[in-house]
């Protein structure tokens, strides 16, 4: 009886034959979506983390510069053994506290603490050999950096406002005549918490994507089993078409996800303004003391920081999902992309196009735009090119985009067919739309020869909308 129960008949074999490829394909798609989502999100999170930390570092450097300017009129003419001058400088630095946890510290080259306004029990005690909870040297590293002139150090330190250990970044400069290490630091636990929250959100989105794909797979399996006796070659072809449509929906979901991530980055970029807040607090303190002229410099730096943050928000949002692509079409979007590339890199860039008699559909526009983005990114990072040309035009067989540079060409392993991730992404996009992509590369630029790379992406006529389409009639290619 058991053998009879587990011995499949012909219809069941057909059902299994139809369902197994579907299951494998859905698992592969789920794994690919998870990998790409995590990779893209991790890159964006790392960029955001670097920007936040660099903003804090810039503010720390400004604080130390301002503090040094505040006592240089005393330190400059003073002798190495001028005790009165040293006392005046320590008093100035002891009074320089900011925010809840900000303060300046001073150690002599022997390791003795001279200034620590928020942790006064450190003063006049030798802390040579002090390490944090992870064994990272603290005071000895301060002294080493100060002997070299100036530099950064990251370690774990007790946060004065809470009494708990937190990650800290310090900037230290050396006063060589007095053999002092002077510096200040900022805690980055807020940055670490923000990055951790972002990673949790990424994992939540990946799990949700798995659930969606699992639900779609379950529905497809039920349909296959319900109609197992009626399956034939034609129905299997229809199943392949549905699987292809499912893959397209995944790509569409990725594009929607990029748009959503752009909005989230726009909201969370406010972390970059933390450094500006410190500058404005300094301005507020100086204005409160009537030092209006001294407040002008940090106020200007704060304005510059705001402008930088605004520019970064616009750049990230434009890179993830350019509004001009939806509003004006592919031609203006590529023109804006090449103009931005030329202004950012200094590489001579030319874009030409011919207005189509028909118009590209949405999937084709997105695919060509992403390929252009990837190509320009590769040129900027690896090609060492001085000139780039991009041409977009329609013809009787469809549409073609051609990107050419005069750089050093592709590495030998990629030229032999071992494509990188970026090139594979281009190929996958074109294959999804039944198009083709050709990449020609020459390792030249030596001995009087001219190297470079040519990327030519072509789409079939099926992706050009008819002239009578009302939506396409109001948009450029």
Q: Where are the domains of the chain?
A: 7-51+192-319, 79-190, 323-473
∠ CA 432-438-440, rounded to 5°: 150
Q: So what's the pLDDT on residue 414?
A: 54
Distance in angstroms (rounded) separating the CA atoms of residues 333 and 156: 47
Start-to-end C-alpha separation, the chain? 66
- Give the mean pLDDT of 11-39: 73
Weakest mean pLDDT among 165-169, 225-229, 331-335, 424-428: 225-229
CATH topology of domain 79-190: Beta-Lactamase (3.30.450)
Mean pLDDT of 175-195: 87
What confidence score (pLDDT) does residue 445 get?
47
3-state helix, strand, coil in the chain (%, to 5): 60, 20, 20
Per-residue pLDDT at 126: 93
* pTM confidence score: 0.42
Region 372-393 average pLDDT: 89
Q: Does domain 323-473 have CATH number 3.30.460.80?
A: no
pLDDT at 141 over 90: yes
Q: pLDDT digit string (tens) for 93-108?
A: 998 888 888 889 999 9
Question: In this structure, are residues 420 and 382 in contact, taking their beta carbons and an 8 Å threshold?
Answer: no
Is the model more confident about 360 or about 447? 360
| DSSP element (H, E) containing 154 | strand 150-158
pLDDT: which is higher, 83 or 256: 83
């Amino acid at each position: 009886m058991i053998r009879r129960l587990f011995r499949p008949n012909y219809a069941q074999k057909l059902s299994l034959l139809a369902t197994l490829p579907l299951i494998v394909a859905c698992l592969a798609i789920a794994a690919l979506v998870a990998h790409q989502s995590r990779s893209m999100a991790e890159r964006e999170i790392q960029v955001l983390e670097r920007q936040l930390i660099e903003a804090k570092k810039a503010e720390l450097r400004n604080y130390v510069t301002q503090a040094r300017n505040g006592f240089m009129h005393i330190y400059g003419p003073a002798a190495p053994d001028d005790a009165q001058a040293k006392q005046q400088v320590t008093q100035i630095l002891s009074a320089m506290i900011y925010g809840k946890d900000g303060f300046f510290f001073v150690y002599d080259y022997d390791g003795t603490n001279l200034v620590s306004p928020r942790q006064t029990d450190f003063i006049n005690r030798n802390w040579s050999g002090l390490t944090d909870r992870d064994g990272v040297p603290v005071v000895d590293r301060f002294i080493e950096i100060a002997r070299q002139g100036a530099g950064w150090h990251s370690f774990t330190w007790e946060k004065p406002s809470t009494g708990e250990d937190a990650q800290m970044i310090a900037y230290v400069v050396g006063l060589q005549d007095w053999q002092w290490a002077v510096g200040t630091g900022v805690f980055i636990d807020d940055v670490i918490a923000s990055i951790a929250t972002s990673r949790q959100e990424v994992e939540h989105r990946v799990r949700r994507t798995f659930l969606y794909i699992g639900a779609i797979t379950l529905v497809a399996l039920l349909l296959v089993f319900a109609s197992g006796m009626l399956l034939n070659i034609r129905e299997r072809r229809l199943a392949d078409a549905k699987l292809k449509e499912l893959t397209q929906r995944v790509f569409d979901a990725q594009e929607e996800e990029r748009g959503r991530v752009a909005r989230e980055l726009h909201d969370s970029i406010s972390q970059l303004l933390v450094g500006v807040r410190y500058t404005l607090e300094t301005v507020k303190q100086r204005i409160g003391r009537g030092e209006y002229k001294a407040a002008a410099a940090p106020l200007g730096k704060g304005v510059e920081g705001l402008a930088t943050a605004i520019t970064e928000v616009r750049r990230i949002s434009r890179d993830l999902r350019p509004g001009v692509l939806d509003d004006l079409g592919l031609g203006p979007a590529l023109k804006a992309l090449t103009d931005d590339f030329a202004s950012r890199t200094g590489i001579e860039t030319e874009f030409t196009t011919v207005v189509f008699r028909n118009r590209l559909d949405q999937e084709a526009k997105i695919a060509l735009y992403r390929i252009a983005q990837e190509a320009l990114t590769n040129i900027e990072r690896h090609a060492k090119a001085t000139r780039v040309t991009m041409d977009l035009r329609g013809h009787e067989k469809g549409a073609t985009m051609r990107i050419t540079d005069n750089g050093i060409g592709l590495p030998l392993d990629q030229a032999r067919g071992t494509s990188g991730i970026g090139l594979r992404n281009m190929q996958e996009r074109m294959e999804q739309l039944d198009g083709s992509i050709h990449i020609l590369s020459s390792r030249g630029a030596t001995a009087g020869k001219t190297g470079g790379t040519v990327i030519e992406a072509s789409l079939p006529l099926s992706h050009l909308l008819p002239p009578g389409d009302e939506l396409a009639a109001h948009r450029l290619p």
